[in-house]
Amino acid sequence: MAKIQDHRVASGFVDTARVYLKAGKGGDGCSSFRREKYIPYGGPDGGHGGKGGSIWFQASANITTLAEIACHPHITAQDASPGKGNRKDGAYGEDLTLYVPCGTVVKRAGTVLADLKKDGERFMAAKGGRGGRGNTAFKTRFNTAPKISELGEPGEEYEARLELSVLADVGFVGMPNAGKSTLLAAISAARPKIADYPFTTLNPNIGIVSHKGKSFAAADIPGIIEGAHDGKGLGVLFLKHILRTKILIHLVDPMGFGKMKPEKAVRVIEKELKDYHPLLAKKITILAVNKSDLPEAAEVQKALAKKFKKREVFLISAATRKGLSPLLDHILKLLPTIKEGDLYQAAALSVPAPKQAKGGFTVSVDADGLYSVKGTRVEKLISMTNFGQPDSWDRLHRIFKTIGMDKALKKAGCVSGDMVRVGNKEFQWSDEAMAAGRPGKFAYKYKRFDQEYGDQR
Query: If we measure between CA atoms, which residue out of 105, 12, 96, 86 comes closest to residue 56?
Result: 96
HEC sequence for the chain: CCCCCHHHHHHCCCCEEEEEEECCCCCCCCCCECCECCECCCCECCCCCCCCCCEEEEEECCCCCCHHHHHCCEEECCCCCCCECCCECCCCCCCEEEEEECCEEEEECCEEEEEECCCCCEEEEECCCCCCCCHHHHCCCCCCCCCCCECCCCCCEEEEEEEECCCCCEEEECCCCCCHHHHHHHHECCCCCCCCCCCCCCCCEEEEEEECCEEEEEEECCCCCCCHHHCCCCHHHHHHHHCCCCEEEEEECCCCECCECHHHHHHHHHHHHHHHCHHHHHCEEEEEECCCCCCHHHHHHHHHHHHCCCCCEEECECCCCECHHHHHHHHHHHHHHCCHHHCCCCCCCCCCCCCCCCCCCEEEECCCCCEEEECHHHHHHHHHECCCCHHHHHHHHHHHHHHCHHHHHHHCCCCCCCEEEECCEEEECCHHHHHCCCCCCEECCCCCHHHHHHCCC
Residue 388 has φ and ψ, to the nearest 5°, of -85, -5
- Contact call for residues 131 and 51 (beta carbons, < 8 A): yes
Instruction: In whole angstroms, give the CA distance from residue 261 to residue 93.
Output: 63
Beta strands 111-116 and 104-108: pairing type? antiparallel
Return the pLDDT at 271.
Answer: 84
Return the pLDDT at 188.
Answer: 84
Task: Name 257's bridge partners.
Answer: 260
Return the pLDDT at 135.
Answer: 93
- Contact call for residues 287 and 308 (beta carbons, < 8 A): yes
Mind listing the pLDDT tens digit of every residue in the chain (457 residues)?
A: 334 344 444 345 677 899 999 999 999 999 999 888 887 778 899 999 999 999 999 999 888 888 889 999 999 999 999 999 999 999 999 999 999 988 899 999 888 899 898 899 999 999 999 999 999 999 988 888 899 999 999 999 999 999 887 777 888 888 887 788 888 888 887 676 665 545 555 567 778 888 888 888 888 877 665 554 444 445 556 677 777 788 888 888 888 877 788 888 888 888 888 887 777 778 888 898 888 888 888 888 888 888 888 888 889 888 888 889 999 999 899 888 887 666 666 655 444 455 555 667 888 888 878 899 988 889 899 999 998 888 888 888 888 888 888 888 888 888 888 888 988 888 887 766 555 544 444 433 333 333 333 333 3
Spell out the domains of the chain, with CATH numbers in brackets.
6-164 (2.70.210.12), 170-342 (3.40.50.300), 362-454 (3.30.300.350)
Return the pLDDT at 80.
Answer: 96
Return the pLDDT at 132.
Answer: 95
pTM: 0.75
